[in-house]
Structure 1
Amino acid sequence: MTDESPRQETSVQAAWTRVWRTMLVRGIILVVAVAVLGMGIGYLVSGAEGLNGGAVGGGLAAVFIIITLIIMYAGRNMGLTAIAGFLGIGFLFKAFIFMLVIWRLKDAAWLDGNVAFFTIVVAVIGSSLVEALTVAKARVPYVDPEAN
């Protein structure tokens, strides 16, 4: 016979769910802030090209946060040390994406390169800060006595 009772979430799994949700909320706030401020300041500085540069930075902030959320979701049952390691690898991957985007957009006539660069830098630093603060303040036990 099979046990048809729904599986209860352990306290560690519930803690990781709270951390993931916190990261999601903080990430959304970061993406909106980077996009709105980048596009607004970009438009004031150089018109439509600056607006486009701010939009590129806001989009890249969204990509960075999505990468982090995927890593945290995939590693939620691996433990804090594993997630920290994966987030470090994710940071290197984001640095690679950053360099690739800067290289591809360096001669784009449809955006202001300076606005795009500074908005992307804010996106990189902001997403790293959100990650670090979220993981550092996470209250996840190391041992799960309820695990099977």
Structure 2
Amino acid sequence: MAFLAKSLMTPDALGRSPTVQKSLEILRAAARRFLDERKDPTEGHMATEFCHQCNARDPAVIIRALVQRDNRVLRLGGDDVVPGPAFSEQPQTELYDKQEEDEAPGAGKVGRVPVPDGISSRIHNLYLLNLDLDGQLGKFLNPAAGEAP
């Protein structure tokens, strides 16, 4: 994802990436499971509409829909996916209170978070929250011997 902070990409180009294609197939499968249940509790069946968008055959259509839905971290600029307002011009290291960072458990691992330079610290925190929710934060903060720091 680092390329998005520095250059523009089109949904078509992103959709050709094998990594993106794999992620979109996982998304499509989850959307199909939800649609097959036919139990949408949301007002106006918003979840069903979202799942129909995620179930499109064309990867570029899904990417456009997801980017338009987000419009904070990423947004559409014409036909290009461009950084949204969550990107910052400040280097990532300046976004953190150094004293707080130095005292935090696993503070030395901050540079290992794979986010683009200049992105909002909220994305850094979201990455760590995701690891925590997946039960992987401890492993990330304290890798076993022989793993990359």
State the TM-score, normalizing by the size of structure 2. Answer: 0.26
Q: Which has the higher contact order (CA 8 A, sep 6+)?
A: 1
Larger relative strand fraction: 2
TM-score, length of structure 1 as denominator length: 0.26
Q: Which has the larger share of helix?
A: 1
